[in-house]
Amino acid sequence: MSSVVVANIGELVIFEPERPIRHDAAVVLVDGVVQWVGDDADAPPADARVDARGGAVIPGFVDSHSHLVFAGDRAAEFEARMAGRPYMAGGIRSTVAATRAASDDELRTRLTTLVAQARAQGTTTLEIKSGYGLTVADEARALRLAREVTDETTFLGAHVVPAEYASDRGAYVDLVCGDMLAACAPHARWVDVFIDSGAFTVDEARRILLAGRDAGLGLRVHAGQLAADGGVALAVELGAASVDHCTHLTDADVDALADSSTVATLLPLVEFSTRQPYPDARRLLDAGVAIAIATDCNPGSNFSSSMPLALALAVREMGVTPLEALAAATVGGARALRRSDVGQITVGSRGGVVLLDAPSHAWLAYRVGVPLVREVVGGVR
């Protein structure tokens, strides 16, 4: 066992319901798990001491939506978008071709680099989806690789219909619900479907999600990215843990979310990278909807893994305070993954703590683009 005390914390954001923030505090972690939280003056001794230098300490970010197992890049597509071309789901197929052609080691090297970059920016819990293989073997491979770095793995065989099934999409949905699910479920915690005019319909998604549930997986949905497409209602109907994007929502969607346990996960880096309007986080919070903020890091619609930038965009463009944005990026993400052991700093928390070169969490939005994460302590799977 090894213990470490993080001492001399000016502002400690703990997100306990009655008390989100403490001042002049310390935290003790044993083998990466929080064992004690209290006043700095009362901090017990530990094997090692980390000095927060009077700065802010926050929970490790929970990035509940990413696609990090892939090869190649789509920088040219990004440049074209910035010149005015719209985002379309079809670009996914070019990443599928590159990913199928890559070796396990190539995919693993890219994946571990991306995970290390995320951790350096304060992310300690990371959900990773498949979805760039789209064959039984390639989807299972993506999930096996993702499992090497996280327990939060999601089967997304229903990302798009691959080119070889273009004339028989029903056969592809059969494959996803049958052999592909059987091969992938042992490596996955979740099943997800991309509902979009260029991807899957609500009825196809219902079939796939119900098959995933029968195989023991929890449910997540991509919906409302490019239009209000009926996906939010489906996510709520099926009790999905999270419905992600939510860029376009009807009033009925908002009401349904407010009456549900489904988290609305907002992905503002996608809006940034696709020039879409930002989702209205204020409208959701005021209606009583639980929200999360995640990156959706992927080679197409957004290739940033920066939770601090996502949070800053939420503050700048989506009507929330820095504390609300930070809550969505930590405890909100935990809720979207149905986890209570990450996203907070309380005894038993496994999500680690992040030391900032800043006196307050608000600086994450105030000093946008500046690397404020000085050190990440703890965080265990």
CB of 373 to ligand NIG, least distance (A): 24
The residue written with tokens 């907070």 in the block is 344
Write each residue from 49 to 88 as x if it is in contact with Fe ion (CB under 5 A), else as -, in one continuous string. Answer: ----------------------------------------
Binding of ligand NIG at residue 22 (CB under 6 A)? no
Distance, CA of 194 to CA of 157 (rounded, Å): 9
Write each residue from 267 to 306 as x if it is in contact with ligand NIG (CB under 6 A), else as -, in one continuous string. Answer: ---x-------------------------x-xxxx-----
CB of 267 to ligand NIG, least distance (A): 7
Cβ atoms < 10 Å from Cβ of 18 = 4
Distance, CA of 48 to CA of 51 (rounded, Å): 10
- Residue from 7, 62, 92, 146 touching ligand NIG (CB under 6 A): that is 92
- Residue from 40, 77, 229, 296 touching Fe ion (CB under 5 A): that is 296
CB of 86 to Fe ion, least distance (A): 17
Binding of ligand NIG at residue 91 (CB under 6 A)? yes
CB-nearer residue toward Fe ion: 52 or 281: 281
Distance, CA of 306 to CA of 354 (rounded, Å): 14
Distance, CA of 136 to CA of 130 (rounded, Å): 11
301: partner contacted, choices ligand NIG, Fe ion, none (Cβ within 5-8 A by kind): ligand NIG
CB of 302 to ligand NIG, least distance (A): 7
Residues 321-350 that bind ligand NIG (CB under 6 A): none
Q: Which residue is nearest to Fe ion (CB)?
A: 296
Q: In sequence order, what are the residues at sequence separation of 6 or more whose Cβ sits closer than 8 angstroms to the Cβ of residue 179?
A: 136
| Helix, strand, or coil (residue 1) | coil
Contact present, 254 and 287 (Cβ < 8 Å): yes
CA distances from 301 to 10, 60, 81 (A): 38, 24, 10
CB-nearer residue toward Fe ion: 40 or 152: 152
Distance, CA of 283 to CA of 203 (rounded, Å): 28
Binding of ligand NIG at residue 248 (CB under 6 A)? no
User: What letter does residue 148 receive in the DSSP assignment?
Assistant: T
Distance, CA of 269 to CA of 300 (rounded, Å): 11
DSSP string, 90-132: GGHHHHHHHHHHS-HHHHHHHHHHHHHHHHHTTEEEE-EE--S
CB of 1 to ligand NIG, least distance (A): 40
CA distances from 217 to 143, 213, 341, 355 (A): 13, 5, 20, 35
91: partner contacted, choices ligand NIG, Fe ion, none (Cβ within 5-8 A by kind): ligand NIG
Write each residue from 42 to 81 as x if it is in contact with ligand NIG (CB under 6 A), else as -, in one continuous string. Answer: -------------------------x--------------
Residue 257's H or E segment, with its range, is helix 251-258
CB-nearer residue toward ligand NIG: 40 or 296: 296
CB-nearer residue toward ligand NIG: 14 or 307: 307
Distance, CA of 104 to CA of 205 (rounded, Å): 29
CB of 92 to ligand NIG, least distance (A): 4
Residues 183-242 that bind ligand NIG (CB under 6 A): 194, 222, 225
Picking from 87, 90, 76, the residue whose alpha carbon sits closest to that of residue 276 is 87
CB of 35 to ligand NIG, least distance (A): 37
CB-nearer residue toward ligand NIG: 8 or 225: 225
Q: Which residues of this protein are in contact with Fe ion, per CB under 5 A?
A: 296
Give the binding site for ligand NIG (CB under 6 A).
Answer: 67, 91-92, 95, 194, 222, 225, 270, 296, 298-301
